[in-house]
Structures are given as C-alpha cells and as structure tokens.
C-alpha cells in the first residue's frame, strides 16, 4: 500500500511515522508512506498557502491551488487517482471497520488542514471522504493523519509479524481486549491470575474471552450489545 500525506508539517509526521513498527515496515518495503510539503506546490513566491476568509472571521483558510497541485502530482506519479481523505472534525468517526476497508486499497492520499481549515471548493473537487478521530478540535490535521496511517498500516500484509497480532486485539474482534500480565509472578502483593500459569491453552482462551466480555459489557455497552446481536 502507498499512503501519501499532504501537510504543512512533514517533519512532524516523519518524526512519528519513521519510528517503531510503521518505521520498520517502511524501511523493509512492506508499506510506502510519503509526507509531502504543500508549500512546494504553491506558485506564490513567498510560498503562501493561505489567505483571509471571504465573509470575514478569525484566522486564515488554506487555498485550493497548492492542495490541488499536490493532489495532481500524486495522481501523475501513481498513474491513477488515490482514495483521497480530508481529516476533519466534520467527517465520520474513524472505526476499526473502516480502517480494515481502507487497508484493502492500493493507495490513499490524506490531506491535513490547518488554520481555520481548507477552501471548500478543493474539498468538493478531490476529496472522497472526510474522517474524524473524535468529537474534539485540534490545531491541525497532522495528528489525525498519523492516527489514521498507523491504524491502517498495521493491518497491511507484512507490517506485523502475523495477522493474529491485530485480529486478537481490542475493537477488531468486536470486544475490548482481556488483561495482560508478565513477570514477576507477584508484584506489590498482586499475583498473576492462576489460570495463566497452568499452560492449559483451552482454559486460558476461555478465561480471556470471559474477561473480554465482562470488560466490554462494563465499559462499552454499545460494543457489547452489537457483539451479542451479531452472535445471535
């Protein structure tokens, strides 16, 4: 998969996406992630990419042309239109199910807004969907873009050592994940649940499932109800 991020702060994105699992997967060629500086696509000699909003109001609005030029450059390099996403509080909330669907695509272009946002005309012209990572407002689209990239990338083939690494996790399975424990066996007077020390895989699997059910029912009744209905 190829993921392109159009941003005013590529160094910010690279600082995160160049590390850990995603960073190693990029170096190994399992996934391609490129961060493009939108300012490189402006024709303004001062490299301006924003202007005051029509109708008045606080802040600045990112202009159409630099974003559109960046988009066209990506299309030309790919030889096709990438699925284009604008990170926005007005978008649909990112879910694990949507991330799974996006992970099946060949290419994605993520546009990061800043200031007061992006001129609506370029959104209408090139954006396929708007995605939000929650009901709150951030200073820019970079953090949401990195969240989306990490969420999608880890489900791409070869990024993790085995599909089980993500299939057995919270949300992906429909339930919140069970508790984890490691050495020492007793810490601050608290012992590891005895079943985990037995080596009896069937009993351990059953215990973990029961824990997931209980935690999900307590903390996310919406997920629990959905899971229960799908099992019926």
- Domains of the chain and CATH, by start: 2-153 (3.40.1280.10), 168-231 (1.10.1270.20)
pLDDT tens across 152-187, in order? 999 999 999 776 555 555 577 789 999 999 999 999
User: 86-118: buried (b, 16+ CB within 10 Å) or exposed (e) per residue?
Assistant: bbbbebeebebebbeebbeeebbbbbbbbbebb
Q: Say what the pLDDT of residue 152 is.
A: 97
Residues of the chain with pLDDT under 50: none
DSSP letter, residue 178: P
* CA distances for 93 relative to 8, 39, 89, 149, angstroms: 23, 28, 8, 15
Q: How far is CA 119 from the centre of its chain?
A: 23
Q: Say what the pLDDT of residue 170 is.
A: 56
pLDDT tens across 59-77, in order? 999 999 999 999 999 999 9
């Amino acid at each position: 998969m190829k993921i392109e991020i159009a941003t005013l702060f590529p160094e910010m994105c690279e600082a995160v996406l160049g590390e850990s699992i995603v960073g190693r997967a990029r170096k190994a060629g399992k996934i391609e992630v490129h961060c493009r500086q939108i300012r490189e696509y402006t024709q303004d000699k001062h490299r301006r990419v924003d202007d005051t909003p029509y109708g008045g109001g606080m802040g600045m609005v990112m202009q159409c042309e630099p974003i559109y030029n960046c988009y066209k450059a990506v299309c030309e390099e790919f030889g096709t239109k990438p699925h284009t996403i604008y990170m926005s509080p007005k978008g649909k909330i990112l879910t694990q199910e949507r991330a799974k669907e996006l992970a099946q695509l060949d290419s994605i272009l993520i546009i990061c807004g800043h200031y007061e946002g992006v001129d609506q005309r370029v959104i209408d012209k090139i954006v396929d969907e708007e995605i939000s990572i929650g009901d709150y407002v951030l200073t820019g689209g970079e953090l949401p873009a990195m969240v989306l990239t990490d969420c999608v990338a880890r489900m791409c083939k070869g990024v993790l050592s085995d599909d089980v690494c993500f299939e057995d996790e919270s949300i992906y399975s429909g339930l919140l994940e069970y508790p984890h424990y490691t050495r020492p066996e007793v810490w601050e007077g608290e012992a590891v649940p005895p079943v985990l020390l037995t080596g009896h895989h069937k009993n351990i699997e059953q215990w973990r499932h029961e824990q997931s059910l209980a935690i999900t029912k307590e903390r996310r009744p919406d997920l629990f109800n959905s899971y229960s209905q799908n099992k019926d």
